[in-house]
Structure 1
Amino acid sequence: LTSSNNGNCFAVSDTVIIAVKQLASVNAGPNKHICSNTPTVAITSTISGVTNTGIWTTNGTGAFIPGSAFTNNTYFITVSDITAGLLSYTLSSTNNGPCPVVTDTMFVFITPLATVNAGPNQFICSTTNSISLNGSVSSSSNTGTWASGGGGSYSPSNTILNPFYLLTPSDASNGSVTFTLSSSNNFPCPVVRDTVQIKIKKPAVVNAGPDQSICSTSISATLNGSVSGGSFTGIWSAMGSGNFLPNNSALNGIYMVTSADINSGFVNLILTSTNNQVCPAVSDTSKLTIIKDVTINLLNDTTICAYQNPLKISANVSGGSGQYAWTSSGTGTFVSVSGFNTVNYFMSAADIANGSVNLTISSINNGPCGAKSGMVNVTINPAPTANFSASTYTANIPNDPIKFTNLSTNANSYYWSFGDGGFTSQVNPLYNYNAVGFYTVSLIAINQFNCRDTIEQDILVISDIQFPNVFTPNANGSNGGSYNFSDLSNDVFFPYTSGVVEYKLLIFNRWGELIFESNDINIGWDGYFRGKLCQQDAYVWKANVKFFDDRIYKKTGSVTLLR
C-alpha cells in the first residue's frame, strides 16, 4: 500500500500477503440398498482441498468402527435402524482453516428380508382332485413362486400365493407331495423359502364279500367282509330287520334272518369303513338272496278213463326258483298250457295198456334249497267203443219202425237218444218217427268203470204227398178251407203230407175255369166258389210242392165233390 498526496514528503509503502485456501471437497460415497439381514454397512469417502479430515454423523443408532472421525468406516446396524428402513450418513469436513465446513450425505435403504410361510402341513385323501395351497409372503413385493416334486399343475398358476394344485395319479401313489414357496422380486435380499408337505392318504378298500343265497330254512348267513388300505375297521348295516352277531363291527360275523327278510326275498348287507381320517367312508354291498323253501301241492291220486286224453294236470308250486319239470313213468308226452304249472299229458298207447302212470313235477334250480318233487298216480280205466247201425237211414212216414243194431264193445249199459225227444236204454231198440226231418241219433255206451263213449248218426225222415179222390163239403157254408189233419169229417179237400216248405194248389172245373188257389198247406178247398157250394162233379187239381230236403213234387189229379 503506497501513500499518495505526500507533498514534499516521500511516498511511503507497506506490503500485506493474502494466502487463499481451497474449499474442502467432501464425497460421502454413493447411496446404498441393503437387506435387513445385512449387519454392517461399509462406508468409503474422500475429502480434499483445504483439509482431508472429517467426521461422520447419522440418524441411526448404530456405531462407527473404528470411529466417526475416520473417513472410511464400518457402520453396525441396529434393530432400530432396520425398523426405520432408511439411514442417512453425513460427512462433515474438519480443520477447514478460513473455509467453511463442507458436508455430503449418503443414504442407505434397508429392505426387510422376506417372510415366507408355505402354510401348515396337511393330510388329504387320494380321492381329492386338488390341493388348496395357502402361502403368504411378507416383503416389499409380497410375491412368490411355488414349486414341487410332483407332476401336477397349478391353477391358475404357480405365481399365485393361494393356488390349487391338481393332483396326478403318481402323486397319490407316492403318498405325499412337498411344496416349496420361494419369495420373488427380492432385491437386494436373498430368496427366502418355506416348505409344506401334503401327505396323501389312500381311502379304505371295502369288500362286503360276494353275493350269496340261502334257503328260508336257514336262520343266519355268514358274513365275509374285509377292510384294507386307509382303514382296517368297518361297520355293518342292513336293509332288512335282522341283527348282527356278535355285533355289527365284526367283519366276519353272522347276520340273523327274520321272517320279514324271508318275505322280502333278499337283504342288502352294507359294509362301511370307519376310522377313515381325512378320507370319506367307503361302502360295499353284498346281496343276500333268501330263496323260499319249495312247497308242492298236487292233486291226489286219481282215476280216469282212457278217452280222457290228454289229461290236464296242475300243481301249485311255491318258493324256489319258479322253474319246474314234469316227468312220467310212462311213455306219454307233456305239452304246456296256460295256467300256473299246468300241462296236458298225452297218454301213450302203452300207458293206457298198462292201466296206470305216475306223473312227477320237480322244482329245480333252487340253489341252497335243493330240488323237491311231488307225484300223482293216475289209474287209467279202459273205455268202451260205441257203435250202431240202422235198418235204414232214410225213412218215409208213415212207415214201419227203424231197427237199431248195437255194435258197441266193452260196454254193459246203454243210452239211446233219437233226436226227437225219444230215448231208451234197450240194447237193440226199434223206433218209429212221427214227423219228417233230420234226426241225430246218439248212443252212449257205458262200462263197469263208468267210462263212456258216444256215437252219433243222422236219420232222414221224409214223407210223400197224397190227395184224396173224393170229399163231401159242409152244406152249412164255407169255412175258408181250414182243416184239422186228424179230423175225419172229409169236408175239406187237402193233401196228406209232412215237411212241406213251398206249396201251391190249383182247382179247375170241367170247363177249365180256375175256381180255387192256395199257397198255404194248411188251407184246403172247402167246395165253395164265390160263396156258393159247387155242384157235384169231378174237378181237376194241380199241385206244386217243395219238401224240406229240396225234393220237388209236381202232380195233377182229379177229385169228386159229392153233395
Structure 2
Amino acid sequence: MHDGSSFFWTPTNYLDNPNILNPVATPPRTTTYVLSSFDTKGCPKPGRDTIVVRVNPKVIAYAGKDTVVVVGQPLQLQASGGSSYVWSPTTGLNNPNISNPVGTYTNNMDSIQYKVVVADDIGCADSAFVKVVVYKVLPTVFVPTAFTPNNDGLNDVVAPIMVGIQKLNYFSIYNRWGELVFTTTQNKKGWDGTIGGRLQNTGVFVWMVSAEDYSGQKIFLKGTVTLIR
C-alpha cells in the first residue's frame, strides 16, 4: 500500500489528518480504522487495510483515606486501581510491593505520609498519597458516661470505643440489681437502652469490658453509664 499516491482513513474521528499515510490517532476507546489507498495508475479498486487501536482504561490510583493509629497497633493499608503497587517510604511496612501492606509504628513517629505508585499490565501508572497519624497513648477502651436513646440519631446507643485494641472479649451492662441487660463481643455494637424491646427508665447502669491489645495484654475496665430519657 506504500505505492499509493493518496490515502483515506475511516472513521475520521480522533485523527489529526485522515488523508495521510501515518496520522496520529487519539481515540477515547478501542477503535478499528480502515485505510483505503488509491494508486497513480487509475485502478478503480482501492487497496484496503485495517488497524485496531486498543485503548486501555486510565489508571486511577487510590491509597485510601487518611487515618490514625496507636503505637504498636498494626494498620493495614489498602490501595487500588492497578495490578502492581510500590509504596514509599517503606518505613514500618511489611511489604511495600503489594496493594495492602501492614504498617507498624513506634514511639519515635508522629505521622508519616505514604506515596503509592499504581500501574497496569502495560506500565501506565498513577500515584496517590495517604497520611497516617500515630497516637502515643496506651491501649484502652472508652465508654460514654451517658446516652439518650430517643431515636434522634445522636447518642442513641452506648458502645465501647476501642483504642489500640485487637480483640473485645465482652462488653456487658448490668442494672442496679446486678442483672445482665446487654452483652456483646462485637466491636462498635452497643446497647439501645431496651430490654425485650421495652425502653428502660432513666437510671444508672454498670458496664464491664474485657479486651486484649495487640501485644496480647489483657485489659479489664468497669464503670457506670446513665440512661437519660
Query: How does the TM-score come out when normalised to structure 2?
Result: 0.49
- Greater relative contact order (Cα < 8 A, sep 6+): 2
Indicate the structure with greater helix content: 1
**Which of 1 and 2 has greater Rg?**
1
